[in-house]
Amino acid sequence: MTLKDERLRIIVNRVRESGRSTVIELSNYFDVSDITIRRDLKELAEKGLIRREHGGAIYPVDMPDEPPVIQRMLQNKTNKERIARAAASLIKDNETVFIGSGSTATYVARHLTTRQNLTVITNAVNIAHELASTDGVTIIVLGGMLRASELSMVGHITEQALQEVRMDKVIIGVKALSIKAGITNDYLPEVVTDRKILEMGSELILVADYTKFGKVASAYIAPVNRITTLVTDRQADTTMLDEMRTMGIEVIVT
């Protein structure tokens, strides 16, 4: 992470904690010029992580908290199962794939039980459980600090373990997806883990139902063009889908 990236991260945290911050406060805190801070705020506002106001920035209205992953399995269940089936069809025998936490990702795992010589790397204990009795799948579970609501491992230990593995494809769900703000999350301790996951595989398959489109959470993970393939449902915002196609992203609508 560069000094600028760290400064941007701290700015978002400070604005979030206090509700607002001024250019003068931030320039004094970082010992940088007002021009630098204004440039930082402009960049963060374009990503939807803060909202500009005269002389500083305020924090956008928080998105509502998501229920635990087990409860979300029942929300938009039909859409999620169709998305999962399509995403699973992209995974072939003899590959190594990372599957992240989340309700739609869990459904993806359920559609991989017929694969042969497949290696699945995951930081989600429920994903490991779904595939535990599958003969043709080798499971690698990453350690770390358990985020109970998501049944996922996050933090420094997880990030260290990720340095020891490589995968052909990465399959993840998403909290929020916006053309300008990119892929965002609202759980700050998980953000660095998410970024490290994306570094480990060149092909990123994002599974997201229509409820995730056009939304922005508090913490930036990656730009939209980091996505290789998006798998979604027919209710997804068609304008966003068209924009993503023009960026070279393969869009699969189920």
Compute the distance between CA of residue 108 and CA of residue 118 in angstroms, rounded to an integer.
Answer: 14
Compute the distance between CA of residue 161 and CA of residue 154 in angstroms, rounded to an integer.
Answer: 11
Residues with pLDDT less than 50, the chain = none
Compute the distance between CA of residue 119 and CA of residue 151 in angstroms, rounded to an integer.
Answer: 20
Catalogue all structural domains in the chain, each as residue range(s) with its CATH number.
3-58 (1.10.10.10), 69-253 (3.40.50.1360)
pLDDT digits (tens, 9 = 90+) for 34-66: 999 999 998 888 777 788 888 888 876 555 555
* Rounded CA Rg of the chain: 19
Compute the distance between CA of residue 166 and CA of residue 251 in angstroms, rounded to an integer.
Answer: 25
Contacts of 161 (CB under 8 A, 6+ apart): 142, 143, 144
Q: How high is the pLDDT of residue 186?
A: 81
Compute the distance between CA of residue 210 and CA of residue 214 in angstroms, rounded to an integer.
Answer: 9
Amino acid identity, residue 93? D
Amino acid identity, residue 195? R
Q: How high is the pLDDT of residue 148?
A: 86
**In terms of Cα–Cα distance, which of 117, 126, 69, 115 is closest to 88?**
115
State the burial class of residue 19 (Cβ atoms within 10 Å of its Cβ: 0-12, 13-18, 19+). exposed
Amino acid identity, residue 113? T
Around 85, how many Cα atoms within 13 Å sit in the side-chain half-sphere?
Answer: 9
Q: How high is the pLDDT of residue 114?
A: 94
Q: How high is the pLDDT of residue 251?
A: 98
State the burial class of residue 169 (Cβ atoms within 10 Å of its Cβ: 0-12, 13-18, 19+). buried
Q: Residue for token digits 């930036």?
A: 220
Give the torsion through C-alpha atoms of 113, 133, 77, 252, to 10 deg.
-30
Compute the distance between CA of residue 38 and CA of residue 46 in angstroms, rounded to an integer.
Answer: 12
Provide the strand spans (E) within 114-218: 118-122, 137-141, 145-147, 152-154, 169-172, 176-178, 182-185, 203-207
For 123, the enclosing helix (H) or strand (E) is none
Output the pTM of the full model.
0.74
